[in-house]
Amino acid sequence: MSYGSSEAFQDGQDEYRENCANLIAQDAAKLVAAHDMSRPEAIKQVTEWLRREGEATGDVTGVAAIENKFPFPSKPVPQGQVAAIAVELLDAARDAADTL
């Protein structure tokens, strides 16, 4: 592989990890805002869901996707509060995304 293609591949991986981190931060923030989980627990739950979701794509039976339940918040939460919490969770979410 040439240097340019390796760099493009690395850029793609970095972009994917950043997208995963944003998803983790947003969804974990909803759980925190609803007072369902602590910040570390919410990040762990959303990261595990995302990991299992990726593994489920290889399951030809579809059972893994059905069994993988998304951790929804127990009540509606204000978007402003979710956005503020997500910003605070982003660094931890980036660390979690690196484990995927």
The DSSP letter of residue 58 is T
CB proximity list for 27: less than 8 A, separation 6 or greater: 42, 46, 49, 70, 71
Q: 23: burial class by Cβ within 10 Å (0-12, 13-18, 19+)? A: middle
Side chain identity at 88, as an amino acid letter?
E
Mean pLDDT value of segment 53-77: 91
Nearest-angstrom CA–CA distance, 99 and 69: 20
pLDDT-derived band at 80, boundaries 50, 70, 90: very high
Which amino acid is present at 39?
Answer: R
Q: Please state the domain extents for the chain.
A: 3-97
Confidence (pLDDT) at 59? 85
- pLDDT over threshold 70, residue 3: no
In the chain, the DSSP E strands lie at: none
Query: What phi and psi, each to the nearest 5 degrees, are found at residue 39?
Result: -60, -50
pLDDT in tens, 35-45: 999 999 999 99
- Judge whether residue 1 has pLDDT over 60: no
State mean pLDDT over 17-36: 98
pLDDT (mean) for 10-28: 95
